[in-house]
Chain A
Amino acid sequence: RALCPLVPSAPAALRALPPPVAVGVLHTTRPLHTTQQSLAPVPPLPEKGGEVRHGLIPEEFFQFLYPKTGVTGPYMLGTGLLLYLLSKEIYVVNHETAAAACILTVLVYAIKKFGPNVADFADKLNEEKMASALAMKNDTIQTLQTAIEEEKKEQWRAEGRSYLFDARRNNIAMLLEANYRERLLMVYNEVKKRLDYQVALQNLKRQKEQDHMIQWVEKSVVQSITPQQQKESIAKCILDLKALSKSAHAAV
């Protein structure tokens, strides 16, 4: 029994089974879940983007030039650059310039007029998405909370199982007692019946013997009465009767 890992005190039936096989061994050379998950929660989007002046030039440019040239520096740079490009005709004025000017006017006007409306609409869409996601999350949390409470209640209920077992034990004891008493009663009845039968049998036998004896005695007595004795007894009776009738006549 060298291969048997069971304790020698285990019953022989258990020791006779084949030894257990390890199923599903987990390779624990790689540590599991040691670092915090980096995918969630996702950091939220920033509120506002980088600052841009006049819709075209980032604020960093103005800050870059501020220490050396003050506030008007970038504007002077822009004006000078524009005049240089125009005067040297590095930027050539043609029909596309007119088209660009008209398009830009219309674009700026449209953005200034309808910008806030479009922004509000987009914000509203975002709000709805966020609200639905939040509602889903809250619902899930709520269901899990109720599940936790239910579980706690079930645990509390399970604590009362000792009372349940006591009641059951009492029931069983009562059943056993009732059954025992039933059987006791049955035994008593059966024994009484048998004893009554014996008593009745004896009584019957004695009665029959008595009756038989009486009959036999009567028969023998009747047989022993001879006709001579019968005549004598009848004559005596008649005499007695006459005497009685005389006394009765006298009494009356």
Chain B
Amino acid sequence: GPLSERPLMEVRLGELHTWISTCSFSPRGLLGAVQRAWSSYCAKYIHVRQGGPAGISMLLAGYCLLSYGWNYQHFKRHRWRKYH
């Protein structure tokens, strides 16, 4: 289909720039993008007949990574060596 309506996974690397330019970065557009991403994640991993631990574990792992990233400056002060 046309470039602007394809989901991100089906956009090739070379077309990424043009695809980003077709996105709407208004608050409504961003909210719509977040909602679409969340609903597609739910439909794929959570709203299934036989889901496993994968659906929630990925969310938790993402949360761990994000929280490590937010507190990185605090962790940097507890390094074991000064020079790497």
What is A's interface to B at a CB cutoff of 8 Å? 45-50, 52, 55-56, 58, 60, 87-89, 91-94, 111, 115, 119, 123, 126
Contacts and interface: CB of A to CB of B under 8 A. Distances in A.
A119 to B, nearest CB: 7
A88 B80 CA distance: 10
Contacts of B84: 87-89
Given A52-B58, A56-B58, A89-B81, A45 B49 contact: yes
A111 B51 CA distance: 13
Contacts, number: 61
Nearest to A93: B80
Given A89-B80, A89-B81, A89-B84, A55 B54 contact: yes
Interface of B: 9, 44-55, 57-58, 61, 68, 75-76, 78-81, 84
Contact of A89 (B44, B46, B79): B79
B80 A49 contact: no
5 contacts: A45-B47, A49-B48, A92-B75, A115-B52, A123-B50
A91 B71 CA distance: 11
A83 B68 CA distance: 17
Given A56-B58, A115-B53, A49 B45 contact: yes
A123 B51 CA distance: 11
Contacts of A58: 58
Given A56-B57, A89-B79, A50 B45 contact: yes
Contact of B79 (A55, A92, A119): A92
A52 B52 contact: yes
Contacts of A48: 48-51
A58 B57 CA distance: 11
A114 to B, nearest CB: 11
Interface centre among B9, B61, B68, B75 (most CB of A within 10 A): B75
Contacts of A47: 48-50
A-B interface, 4 closest residue pairs, ranked by CB to CB distance from nearest: A52-B54, A49-B48, A92-B75, A50-B44
Nearest to A56: B61
A111 B53 CA distance: 8
B49 A46 contact: yes
A42 B82 CA distance: 61
Nearest to A108: B53
Contacts of B79: 89, 92
Nearest to B47: A45
A50 B45 CA distance: 6
A51 to B, nearest CB: 8
Contacts of B78: 92, 94
Contacts of A45: 47-49
Contacts of A93: 80
B57 A49 contact: no
Contacts of B81: 89
Nearest to B55: A49
